[in-house]
């Protein structure tokens, strides 16, 4: 998400938790990505109590049991793509492995396998699908098409069900559909791609961690939480001190940044935060946010990562970096990847 410049950044772990609960002071009633869209992502950019109506309607699709139903598909996708990647000539991790895996898994969750190829073609960021210049054209053509299809479709795919949602006694509008479908396509895209890519990157740099997990698979859950903390796939999100709906005049200093990254590296909470400790015993990271707007797709990310990590552990592969162009965050987070612009890995023969 493109973030307007914030006049204030909340960084400390305790203060951030407090602010994320305080929706009266720090409102989500704002227009994000104003350069590429003119509608709100729902329920992301709506405040309680209306926020709760949308979230309650969408929650059944994303609760843990609903996502766990797809574990066998996630596993098959992970094993197939990992084997194909490391048994082929060296290539870029994101277009060859991470992105196709995330999109195939999303196709299973949403019951839209016919859309996976198109979703992959957009690349990791749908706003730059056609060029380096940000544009919403690709996404909006897709949303227009699937909305018309969904209105007359009786199938059980995600778009048909969302198009017929009733909120507060009224069927959702086309604009509301666009806001919901847009965030369901964008919310778990670049963030989960970054998470899976970061896991591969870390094991290339520290193969001893992969070896240790292979000897103790009980540590997988702790490892996933540590990867989520260290990589912090969404580093910052804005709130506004002046709700934007119905306002003609808005102060330019209304935005307050919620720095999930700063909170995840708060030394009063995390010992040696710049070290990746896959055995970290206490890990109250804020990578999924906190409070009413806690990420709706947190179970998708965690379960996808768990199945992916299991596939890596069970494979015969160990790997090293062949080439990379990694953009790191600014100081003091200079050891933390911000973006994997390019990453190629190569399997090491007889690594195990």
Position 142 in a domain: yes
Question: Residue 314: CA atoms inside 13 Å, Cβ hemisphere, count?
Answer: 14
The C-alpha atoms of residue 25 and residue 38 are separated, in whole angstroms, by 24
Q: Which two tokens mark 230? A: 């260290």
Asked whether residue 1 is domain-assigned, the answer is no
Residue ranges, the chain, pLDDT below 70: 1-2, 349-352
Residue 53 placed within a domain: yes
The pTM is what? 0.96
Determine if residue 134 is left, alpha or beta; phi over 0 gives left, psi from -120 to 50 gives alpha, anything else beta: beta
pLDDT digits (tens, 9 = 90+) for 239-278: 999 999 999 899 999 999 999 999 999 999 999 999 999 9
Backbone φ and ψ of 5, nearest 5°: -65, 130
Q: Distances from the Cα of 7 to the Cαs of 48, 85, 237, 247, 255, in angstroms?
A: 24, 44, 13, 19, 6
2 in a structural domain:
no
* Domain-located, residue 92: yes
Residue 3 placed within a domain: no
Range of the domain at 177: 8-347
Q: Is residue 195 part of a domain?
A: yes
**Domain-embedded: residue 217:** yes
* Residues 277-331 pLDDT 10s: 999 989 999 999 999 999 999 999 999 999 999 999 999 899 999 999 999 999 9
Q: How confident is the model at residue 187, as a pLDDT?
A: 76
Count of beta carbons in the 10 Å neighbourhood of residue 39: 18
Tally of domains in the chain? 1
CATH of the domain at 76: 1.10.630.10
286: closest CA among 9, 48, 20?
20
Coil, strand or helix at 301: helix
Length of the chain, in residues: 352
CA distance 34 to 4: 9
Q: Could you give the C-alpha distances from 130 to 2, 125, 196, in angstroms and in order?
A: 17, 10, 24
Q: Select from 191, 185, 220 the least CA-distant residue to 288.
A: 191
């Amino acid at each position: 998400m493109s973030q307007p410049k914030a006049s204030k950044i909340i960084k400390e772990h305790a203060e951030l938790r407090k602010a994320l609960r305080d929706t009266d002071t720090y409102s989500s009633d704002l227009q994000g990505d104003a350069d590429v869209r003119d509608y709100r992502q729902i329920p992301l950019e709506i405040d309680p109590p209306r926020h709760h109506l949308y979230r309650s309607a969408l929650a059944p699709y994303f609760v843990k049991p609903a996502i766990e139903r797809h574990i066998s598909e996630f596993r098959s996708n992970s094993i197939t793509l990992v084997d194909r990647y490391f048994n082929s000539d060296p290539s870029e991790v994101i277009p060859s492995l991470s992105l196709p895996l995330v999109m195939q898994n999303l196709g299973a969750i949403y019951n839209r396998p016919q859309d996976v190829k198109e979703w992959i073609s957009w690349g990791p960021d749908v706003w730059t699908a056609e060029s380096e210049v940000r544009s919403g054209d690709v996404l909006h053509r897709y949303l227009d098409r699937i909305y018309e299809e969904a209105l007359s479709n009786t199938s059980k795919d995600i778009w048909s069900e969302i198009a017929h949602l009733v909120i507060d006694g009224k069927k959702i509008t086309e604009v509301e559909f666009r806001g919901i479908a847009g965030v369901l396509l964008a919310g778990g895209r670049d963030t989960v791609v970054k998470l899976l890519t970061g896991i591969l990157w870390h094991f290339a740099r520290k193969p001893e961690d992969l070896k240790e997990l292979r000897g103790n698979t009980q540590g997988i859950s702790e490892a996933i939480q540590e990867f989520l903390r260290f990589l912090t796939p969404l580093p910052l999100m804005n709130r506004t001190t002046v709700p934007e709906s119905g306002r003609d005049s808005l102060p330019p200093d209304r935005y307050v940044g919620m720095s999930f990254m700063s909170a995840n590296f708060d030394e009063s909470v995390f010992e040696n935060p710049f070290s990746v400790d896959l055995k970290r015993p206490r890990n109250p990271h804020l990578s999924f946010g906190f409070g009413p707007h806690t990420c709706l797709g947190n179970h998708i990310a965690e379960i996808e990562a768990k199945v992916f990590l299991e596939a890596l552990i069970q494979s015969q592969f160990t790997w090293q970096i062949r080439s990379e162009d990694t953009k790191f965050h600014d100081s003091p987070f200079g050891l933390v990847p911000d973006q994997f612009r390019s990453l190629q890995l190569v399997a090491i023969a007889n690594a195990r």
